[in-house]
Every structure is written in C-alpha cells, then in structure tokens.
C-alpha cells in the first residue's frame, strides 16, 4: 500500500520568512496530493491540492510543487504570519482509491 | 454552506462499552470517510461509504463498523471499547471520493476509561 513520509516534524520560522515542508510517497499510482492545516481542537482543513498532471500550483502565499519522477511533493508558505502556526499534513491517494494516506504531520510555529 | 457536522464533540466511555458516532456530510456529498487520529499513529483510514455501500476499509478490527443512510449521513460504531480506542474520530465528505477535495468535520474526541 501507499506510504507517505513527511519532514520535518517541527519547524520554527520568523514571521515574514518562508516555510517549506516536504513529503515523499511510495505508490506511483497516486495522483492526487492534498495538504491540510489542523489547528487545535479542529479537524484538518484543506489548504491546497495538486493533481499529477501539473507540476506546481499556487494560491496567494501558498504553493505546492510535485515531482512525479522522484515521488515527492512540497508545500511552500511565503511571508509567514502568526496565524500560519498549526500542524500541517500532506496526503496522497489515487482516483478511485477512496482512501487518503497521510504523512505524520509538521508542527509549524511562526515566531513574531 | 454548512460544513461536515459530527456529533457528539466529546464522549467518555468505559472499557467494554460500545459507542456510536454520527456524521452529517456537506449537502450533496455522497462519499463519507472515517479516520482515527492518535498522537502515536497519526491519521489512519477506517472506512469509506458511497451511496450506502462500504467501498473501502482500513486495517482495523471488526469491532469498528459503520453504515451510511440514504440521505448520506453516516454512523460509525465501536463495540467492546478498549483503552487504545481513545482518539479523535474524524469524518470527511466528498462529492465523489478521489476526484475532489475531502472536507473534514471537527471530530469526536472519544476517551475510554
């Protein structure tokens, strides 16, 4: 089955700097890669996703890149703000699989 | 539009009891998935339902079961509770699983004592 590894497990950055979180996946059949943000006491919230037919997707301060050959994808957050502090999860699945396989999460702390 | 609603938010049960958790998906969403979240194991897939049929099941014992109703609302049941079942149980809904994003509810925090 699919296995997703996520690094780093914790990340602290100064407000205004950029943050990068990386994930690798094992199943070459995976073709949908969402990123979730989870705040304390809440469920994971989808912040951006990418499908295997594109290499990069951007939404304001957030971007995701995908390298299918190397089987890795990354989340980039620019101009970080205190409200970006949360736990971020990457995930992978294939269309028709119905199951998301999650990474182990990255606790991001933005230092004011 | 209303999000995914999970009830109850918190639950405390005793070992050996059973529990039923409820999930109301976003209106129009027909796929409902359940996940267990623990500090040690992270987010793990339990099962997925579409049009009242279970299409996929994770690696959990038979004590974990679920169902989906004709209005797409879903319930999951855990029988003979064990201490290790203490977790945050999350429900996610999707128009059609795997083709678009999954929206999660806030979860039910189950504590087994």
What value does the mean pLDDT take over residues A13-19?
98
| pLDDT cut 70: percent of chain A above it | 100
Please say if the pLDDT value at position A61 is more than 90: yes
State residue A54's pLDDT score: 86
Helix (H), strand (E) at residue A50: strand A45-51
Average pLDDT over residues A24-29: 95
Q: How confident is the model at residue B1 (pLDDT cuts 50, 70, 90)?
A: low
All residues of chain A having their beta carbon less than 8 Å from the beta carbon of residue B50 are 98
Mean pLDDT, rounded, for A8-15: 98
Report how far residue B56's alpha carbon sits from residue A24's, in angstroms, rounded to the nearest whole number.
23
Long-range contacts of B11-17 (CB under 8 A, 24+ apart): B11/B108, B11/B109, B11/B110, B11/B111, B12/B110, B12/B111, B12/B112, B12/B113, B13/B81, B13/B110, B13/B111, B13/B112, B13/B113, B14/B81, B14/B112, B14/B113, B15/B81, B15/B82, B15/B83, B15/B112, B15/B113, B16/B80, B16/B81, B17/B81
Answer whether B42 sits within 8 Å of A49, measured CB to CB.
no
Average pLDDT of the residues in B1-19: 95
Residue A86: pLDDT over 80: yes
The arithmetic mean of pLDDT across residues A18-43, rounded, is: 95
Q: What is the mean pLDDT of residues B46-56?
A: 93
Q: How far is A15 from chain B (nearest CA, A)?
A: 27
Q: Is the pLDDT of residue B107 over 70?
A: yes
Examine the pLDDT at A31 and tell me if it is beyond 80.
yes
Inter-chain touch A43–B90, beta carbons under 8 Å: yes
Segment B53-105, tens digit of pLDDT: 999 999 999 999 999 999 999 999 999 999 999 999 999 999 876 566 789 99
pLDDT at B101: 79
What pLDDT does residue A52 have?
A: 86
Residues of B in contact with A101 (CB under 8 A): 45
């Amino acid at each position: 089955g699919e296995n997703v590894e996520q690094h780093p497990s914790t990340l602290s950055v100064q407000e205004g700097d950029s943050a990068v979180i990386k994930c690798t996946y094992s199943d070459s059949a995976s073709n949908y890669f969402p990123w979730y943000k989870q705040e304390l006491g809440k469920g994971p919230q989808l912040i951006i996703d990418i499908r295997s037919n594109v290499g990069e997707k951007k939404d304001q301060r957030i971007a995701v890149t995908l390298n299918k050959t190397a089987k890795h994808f990354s989340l980039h957050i620019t101009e970080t703000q205190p409200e970006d502090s949360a736990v971020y999860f990457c995930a992978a699945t294939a269309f028709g699989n119905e199951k998301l396989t999650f990474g182990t999460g990255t606790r991001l702390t933005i230092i004011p | 539009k209303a999000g995914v609603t999970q009830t109850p938010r918190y639950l405390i049960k005793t070992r050996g009891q059973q529990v039923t958790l409820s999930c109301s998906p976003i209106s129009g969403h027909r796929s409902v998935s359940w996940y267990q979240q623990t500090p040690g194991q992270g987010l793990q897939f339990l099962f997925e339902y579409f049009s009242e049929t279970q299409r996929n099941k994770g690696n959990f014992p038979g004590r974990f079961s679920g169902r989906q109703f004709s209005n797409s609302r879903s319930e999951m049941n855990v029988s003979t509770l064990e201490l290790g079942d203490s977790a945050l149980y999350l429900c996610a809904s999707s128009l059609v699983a795997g083709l678009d994003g999954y929206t999660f509810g806030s979860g039910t925090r189950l504590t087994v004592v």
